[in-house]
Amino acid sequence: MEPFVLNHAPGTGWIEVVCGSMFSGKTEELIRRLKRARIARQRVEIFKPAVDTRYAEADVVSHDESSIPCTPLDTPHQILLHAASADVIGIDEAQFFSSDLVVVCTELARSGKRVIVAGLDQDFLGQPFEPIPGLMAVAEFVTKLHAICVVCGAPANHSQRVVAGGDRLLLGSGDAYEPRCRAHFHPHAQLPAHHAERQTSDVK
């Protein structure tokens, strides 16, 4: 949930995590919170990984085409260089950053900043997708959103990859992924045969 704070003491910061599957509205929720902060005349800085160029190079853009300007960065530690004067910091697509993001966000919160992070909590195999699980553990507030399963309409907690490719980091949207519920999620369905066999043997 989004925190509702009265008499916010100066120098008090915290971390909010917005997570879930693809198409669950994570970026839309991030943008909503950041716009509310701006309406409250708070100083806001927004960041995303430079590798995410799907919709725009210097904007955070949701699947419903809501957008807000941002600064693309290569590493989490660069956030510290750009966020010194900010009251509120937004970070989108956090799964594309390294696990150093947990340390960076903790440092920012300790310095009195509100840090809002959005990202996938599971990869296309249904495994925990760092650094989101680590951030969830240290965050004061965690919001887990769900999409709608395209097969049955149940709450969707998984991102089903529908194109071939075994790389964990694969930029894509509606052409590469579908939201699926637990019953209709088949993580190895679109993997090359040799990759799927290797994953199955690892489980055994």
Residue from 93, 130, 140, 178 carrying the catalytic annotation: 93
Contact criterion met (CB below 8 Å) for 128 and 118: no
Q: In whole angstroms, give the CA distance from residue 26 to residue 23.
A: 8
110 Cβ contact partners less than 8 Å away, ≥ 6 residues apart = 13
Angle value at C-alpha 124, between 95 and 45, nearest 5 degrees: 20
93 is catalytic: yes
Separation CA 162–CA 135 (nearest Å): 28
Six-digit token string for 151: 């097969």
Angle at 20 between CA 104 and CA 25, to 5 degrees: 100
- Catalytic residues, by residue number, are 93
